[in-house]
Amino acid sequence: MEPTESFHQRRLVSDLVVEKFKSSSDAEVKQSLFWRCRRKDTEFCEYIRRLLQNPLFRSFMISVISLNGVLLVLETDYDFMHNFYAYLEVADLIILSIYTMEILLQLYVDPLNYWRSGYHLFDFILLVIAYLPYTIDKNDVRHYRTWSIINGFQALKILKLISYSRDMRSLITALGQTVKAVTYVLVLLFLLMFIFAILGYGLYGDPDTGDSKNWGNLASALFTLFSLVTVDGWTDLQNELDQHGFKSSRAFTIVFILLGFFVFFNISIGVVIMNIQDSTQNYERELKAEKQAALQAKKQALLQRQQEEVNMLIHQQKTSEYKTFSELVEDFKKTLHHSDPMVLEDFCASIPFIDLYVTSLDLQDDTVYRLQELYHELVGTLNSILEDIREKSMVAPETDLKS
């Protein structure tokens, strides 16, 4: 057993060495690839990144997209298009060049992660669509129809506003989340319509005595039921059934409207509203988390700056003539102005406290002076009362003697 155990131990050690060598070799390969692919223009790349994230640049792009929308509206006026055709062409080329510059800058900053964002892919597709009219000769009669259709899709460029609005992106995300649930609801609604279409065809689709216009085949029956689901002109459809003598068709119509419109149709609306509400709550939580993260970053930056200042003072203490850090601080206090806020070890020695204390003493002096004036007035009043009493007491004996 001992040779077998030693063999297994040697085999295990060799496997560990091989795995370690593989892992180290993989790490070395990745590191070598990283150093080969590492950008050498990091400062300029960071500058472009800050430029793209600048609120002024975002406002500029939103203004350009809005101007593009205004120009698309003006192009629908034939007289304006005929008189200012050259100016509109130049403006469209300038706006297209701005869109191209934006996408090229984004590709320059992060060429790999750019294609991982759905909004960036959507912007790139819009840019490709914007270039398609310039690849077709509109003066050729054979291609003019194609050019007109492609030129009509230029209105999609207004959708670039979605990538610059977080609220719109949140709404698009909510709609994307509702697709699955709404799809199931629509499938159930289609099954319900299919059942009622077969039933309506059997009840009211007779070509001689029935309503063959609305229930004569499966396609017309489904279209009629779609009108009933949307509650669009359902009374006219019911009147046609009544004119053909189908009085019991009212129960059929009412039951389908209750199931199709009030149940399935409103369920799909409720699902959309619930998902939009959840997406809005998540968006508010993300904003709150971002604000807290920004506040925490500011606190960390402030603490780091204070730590750097303290380290600088300590370094100055080591390289200066001061013996202790307290001497350095005391000398630093002498360089401060009277308006600089400062926390001292002895609170009573601070200038704000002395100012407040002197003000309170002045108020106390004023209060004492007012009290003294009140005391003098009281003494004068009492003195006058005593004199009146004495005069009355002296006048009373004289009247008694005369009597």
Structure tokens, 41: 């223009």
The span from the CA of 277 to the CA of 272, in Å, is 9
Farthest-apart Cα atoms in the chain, separation: 154
Q: Looking at 129, 164, 199, which one is the last position of a domain?
A: 164
pTM higher than 0.75: no
263-292 average pLDDT score: 81
135, 203: one domain: no
What's the number of CA atoms in the CB half-sphere (13 Å) around residue 113? 3
238-246 average pLDDT score: 85
Residue 318: its pLDDT value, please?
A: 60
284, 184: one domain: yes
- CA distances (Å), 53 to each of 31, 127, 375, in order? 30, 21, 74
Q: Residue 109 is part of a domain; what is its CATH number? A: 1.20.120.350
Structure tokens, 42: 């990091």
373, 283: one domain: no
Q: Looking at 122, 146, 164, which one is the last position of a domain?
A: 164
Residue 359: its pLDDT value, please?
A: 83
Q: Is residue 300 part of a domain?
A: no
Query: In the predicted model, what is the mean pLDDT of the chain?
Result: 78
Residue 98: its pLDDT value, please?
A: 92
176-201 average pLDDT score: 86
Q: Is residue 66 part of a domain?
A: yes
* Phi and psi, residue 52, nearest 5°: -65, -30
Taking a C-beta distance cutoff of 8 angstroms, is the pair 146, 252 a contact? no
Is a pLDDT exceeding 50 seen at residue 2?
no
104, 153: one domain: yes
pLDDT range class, residue 328, cuts 50, 70, 90: low
Residue 250's identity, in one-letter code, is R
Q: Nearest Cα to 71, choosing from 52, 54, 84, 53?
A: 84
Structure tokens, 18: 């091989």
Residue 1: its pLDDT value, please?
A: 41
* Phi and psi, residue 136, nearest 5°: -120, 135
**Mutual angle of helices 249-259 and 218-229, in 10-degree steps:** 60
Higher pLDDT, 273 or 350: 273
pLDDT > 70: percent of the chain: 78
Q: Which of 3-7, 50-54, 216-220 has the lowest mean pLDDT?
A: 3-7
Q: Is residue 335 part of a domain?
A: no
Task: Annotate the chain with three-state secondary structure.
Answer: CHHHHHHHHHHHHHHHHHHHHHHHHHHHHHHHHHHHHCCCCHHHHHHHHHHHHCHHHHHHHHHHHHHHHHHHHHCCCHHHHHHCHHHHHHHHHHHHHHHHHHHHHHHHHCCCHHHHCHHHHHHHHHHHHHHHHHHCCCCCHHHHHHHHHHHHHHHHHHHHHHHHCHHHHHHHHHHHHHHHHHHHHHHHHHHHHHHHHHHHHHHHCCCCCCCHHHHCCHHHHHHHHHHHHCCCCHHHHHHHHHHCCCCCHHHHHHHHHHHHHHHHHHHHHHHHHHHHHHHHHHHHHHHHHHHHHHHHHHHHHHHHHHHHHHHHHHHHHHHCCCCCHHHHHHHHHHCCCCCCCCCCCCHHHCHHHHHHHHHHHHHHHHHHHHHHHHHHHHHHHHHHHHHHHHHHHHHHHHHHHHC
Residues in the chain, how many?
403
The span from the CA of 210 to the CA of 246, in Å, is 8
* Phi and psi, residue 350, nearest 5°: -80, 150
pLDDT range class, residue 396, cuts 50, 70, 90: low
174, 160: one domain: no
Higher pLDDT, 179 or 341: 179
65, 119: one domain: yes
Q: Note the pLDDT tens digit of each residue in 120-167.
A: 888 888 888 888 888 887 777 777 788 888 888 888 888 888 888 777
Q: Is residue 181 part of a domain?
A: yes
Is a pLDDT exceeding 80 seen at residue 336?
no
Q: Is residue 311 part of a domain?
A: no
177, 139: one domain: no
Residue 17: its pLDDT value, please?
A: 43
147, 71: one domain: yes
If one counts the domains in the chain, the total is 3
The span from the CA of 56 to the CA of 46, in Å, is 17
Q: Looking at 243, 258, 290, which one is the last position of a domain?
A: 290
98, 146: one domain: yes
Residue 30: its pLDDT value, please?
A: 45
175, 147: one domain: no
85, 150: one domain: yes
154, 177: one domain: no
Q: Note the pLDDT tens digit of each residue in 64-78.
A: 999 988 988 888 888
The span from the CA of 98 to the CA of 203, in Å, is 63
Residue 123's identity, in one-letter code, is D
Contacts of 121 (CB under 8 A, 6+ apart): 115
CA 242 to chain centre: 55
Q: Is residue 32 part of a domain?
A: no
Q: Is residue 11 part of a domain?
A: no
Is a pLDDT exceeding 90 seen at residue 94?
yes
Structure tokens, 103: 């996408």
251-267 average pLDDT score: 86
Q: Is residue 334 part of a domain?
A: no
Range of the domain at 252: 170-290
